[in-house]
Structure 1
């Protein structure tokens, strides 16, 4: 498997005399054949700014830097989990990568391969299923039908400018649609994609919503989307803060919707820190809840999320309450090779999942500058297993928990009875 690298003009090459390596955390490691899959459709190769690629001399086993060139990584589509970071060394230790998730890529058997695994069925999230010309027409039709709905206007920007697939679903009238509601947040996540301080060193790739919607606007969007048994409408999007801060809007809107239809599923993507707010939303008829989490260890969780007036214990209590009330609960597990697979991280997360009754683990690649992230979290305390083995351990320890990447419609026996009042 050959090292892949790029020149200053972005032209990509492979080196037949140097083997590719990856990074697990801050450790350069050999890439195993069993860790490789062909480059998925929809993946993009990118050069890593201010880096030098690193590979392995097949004769001596020594690590080699390829000076004068830049390292290359792959940005892989949703539904795939990276197992290793690209092999590189930064030439400027103060530089920070843009907020994307970079995956090790190699050249093998006449094609590009990545260190990754397919974690879910990506069909519904394949950009090829979102033709832009048709999307533009559907956006125009929807905005004409709802000219005063500011949420739909906001989502039209997300769909057309950021090519957000969840927002696009609102206009294609299918699958999981977006319902952003909050411009405020009770956390200051280090890798937040919609709001960063000016001195963070990396810009936010999205713009956060800047208005407070009305209850009528929420109801309008929900009823417009919840037209089939498989439809999902989701509070909590990348373009907003924490949705549960707007519980006073969400709760009456949900009740009004459920007075009119039992169709589809109402979901919230949340940090679940505001337990009383979550309880109110659950009691109003919530069907699905996805809890964003990076660690079940307080020091690590707090370093990344920087919670405001809540703790990891609040998160656990919220998840416990929702599960006890019949909500199908999952975690949005932000994964980083060399951290996700630490012994102490795995032990804590398995304990958290067992306690809270989580039914689904959604593996999501953490979009962050690796050096910045590793510098802010605790050092490893035990064995580091590697991503592939770590996922296999989760499967063994939690046989009744699904491991995927997306929000799923729950199986029939786990669906919460709708409250039509």
Structure 2
């Protein structure tokens, strides 16, 4: 398990004399063979600017690699859950890493390997399946068909500029497509990728929606996408705030669309803090709901989400209401090695899922600067179980709940359940 590192020009090397180290939260740890899988298709190797790679020699001594080198991590595609962070130390402790989900990477048996576990079928969301020519043709076709629709203009930038796969799906008319509706939010998430305060220590990598779309604009996007039994159109994207703040708009759009077609599924990606708004959206015909959370513990949740006028109890009430009305509810669980696998975190999450009626836990690698995040949240109270053991415990303690990586339709959920039971 050779150390992987990069020079200042971004060239990547392995070092045959030093073993790679990883991190669980802020603790340097050795990697185990069972934690490693070959680098998945669609993954990207990146250097960590302003860092030095940590390594270990044959005598077990741990130290930063001598010389002017940077640590290397992998950015995983959907379907894969990271188990450990890259092993590094910051050359400048005040420096902040860009908002990505860095995964430990090593050189082993003639190839790159990462500390990760496959939790879902990666093929549908493999970025290599997004054909650039077809995407450009899709963008041009829909923008020409709807020249006055500002959502298509906005989403074209997300698809072509940010290479957002959900936005790209909207133009390729496949899988889960995007229909952003909100420029405002009822939370001030520490790691928000679309809006940060002026004095933030890290810039947002995306630009947030700046207008309120009309019912017609929203309905056009929805109707263009909902053309197959397995298609999903989703409110709540990384380029917007909390979609349920625009509940009246969403409710009108759902009614308008369902008057014309019953094809596909309508989903919302939400923090679910506005319970009254969520109830109205559910009653209008919502079928899928993915609720974002980072913890089932109030102090941790509040430190990251900075909720405005709601609590975790509101979130749980929203989930319970939707589940009772037949909505397939998933958790968009933002996970971080050395934090999510704390004993108290695992226990609290299991209890939340049991009480609320969640059917799928989507393991989503948190995009954050590790040091900034660890300073923000409460310290650990119990043992660190390890990310692999955390997943195993979820599967054992929550037998009716699937572990995945992205939103599934009810039929897709049943197929995944059948595969995992065999």
The TM-score bracket by the shorter chain reads: over 0.9
Give secondary structure in 2 for the equivalent of 1:143: helix
| Alpha-carbon distance in structure 2 between the residues aligned to 1:404 and 1:281 | 25
| Alpha-carbon distance in structure 2 between the residues aligned to 1:145 and 1:44 | 35
Task: Report deviation, 1:248.
Answer: 1.0
Task: Report deviation, 1:217.
Answer: 1.0
Give secondary structure in 2 for the equivalent of 1:158: helix
| Alpha-carbon distance in structure 2 between the residues aligned to 1:289 and 1:342 | 26
Matched, 1:124 2:110: no
Matched, 1:153 2:162: no
| Alpha-carbon distance in structure 1 between the residues aligned to 2:174 and 2:70 | 41
**TM-score normalised to structure 1 length:** 0.97
Cα separation, partners in 2 of 1:331 and 1:165, compared to 1, 3 Å? same
Task: Report deviation, 1:75.
Answer: 1.1
Task: Report deviation, 1:413.
Answer: 9.9
Give secondary structure in 1 for the equivalent of 2:259: helix
Structure-to-structure mapping, 1:13-412, within 5 angstroms: 13-58=13-58, 60-68=59-67, 69-411=69-411
Give secondary structure in 1 for the equivalent of 2:278: helix
Q: How well do the aligned residues superpose, as a CA RMSD in angstroms?
A: 1.3
Cα separation, partners in 2 of 1:215 and 1:80, compared to 1, 3 Å? same
| Alpha-carbon distance in structure 2 between the residues aligned to 1:7 and 1:186 | 42
User: How many pairs were matched up?
Assistant: 414
Task: Report deviation, 1:199.
Answer: 2.0
| Alpha-carbon distance in structure 1 between the residues aligned to 2:6 and 2:79 | 27
| Alpha-carbon distance in structure 2 between the residues aligned to 1:24 and 1:323 | 34
- 2:417 is matched with none
| Alpha-carbon distance in structure 2 between the residues aligned to 1:413 and 1:81 | 19
| Alpha-carbon distance in structure 2 between the residues aligned to 1:360 and 1:187 | 23
4+ runs deviating over 6 angstroms? none
Structure 2 unmatched ranges of 5 or more: 415-422
| Alpha-carbon distance in structure 2 between the residues aligned to 1:92 and 1:283 | 52
Task: Report deviation, 1:15.
Answer: 1.1
Cα separation, partners in 2 of 1:412 and 1:7, compared to 1, 3 Å? closer
**TM-score normalised to structure 2 length:** 0.96
Give secondary structure in 1 for the equivalent of 2:318: helix
Task: Report deviation, 1:368.
Answer: 0.1
